[in-house]
Amino acid sequence: MLNVCILMGRLVHTPRIKELENNKKILRFTLAINQSREKAYFIDGVSWDSHAQFICNHFARGDPLIIRGRLETRIYKNKLGNQVKVTEVIVENVNFCISNEVKNDDRDEELSLPC
């Protein structure tokens, strides 16, 4: 079976790593992915250890990035005892994405670059 997901979007919040008891690092984040001017998807992601640290070191709220990973669904009980089903992208690779707005020091022009 094939379970590969490649997404390009912008971070909804500034990333913050949480350190677990077993010294593993986890980062939970949300990507905003625009389909059109009127519609956007908000996809939850999870990255561990080195990928989590990379995202925290190089990205902030609103920054574009590309992630590759796999979809995973889990079920848990919330504080009220209700079952909640969550589908997340488990990050296996992270890449920079060149923004559509790049400023030229000499001419201060906007360039359209593929992203």
DSSP string, 11-22: ESS----EE-TT
- CA atoms of 22 and 19, how far apart (whole Å): 8
For residue 67, being part of any structural domain is answered with yes
CA atoms of 35 and 57, how far apart (whole Å): 28
Contact 31, 10 (CB under 8 A): yes
Average of per-residue pLDDT across 84-99: 91
Q: Is residue 107 part of a domain?
A: no
pTM: predicted TM-score of the whole model, two decimal places = 0.78
Q: What is the mean pLDDT of the chain?
A: 87
pLDDT in tens, 34-63: 988 899 999 999 999 999 999 999 999 999
pLDDT, position 1: 85
Provide the CATH number for the domain around residue 16. 2.40.50.140
Structural domain count of the chain:
1
Chain segment 97-114, per-residue pLDDT in tens: 875 555 444 444 443 334
Residue 19 has pLDDT above 70, yes or no: yes
Range of the domain at 16: 10-71
Per-residue model confidence (pLDDT) at position 15? 94
Task: Confirm whether 76 is domain-assigned.
Answer: no
Residue closest to 65 by CA, chosen among 24, 12, 3:
12
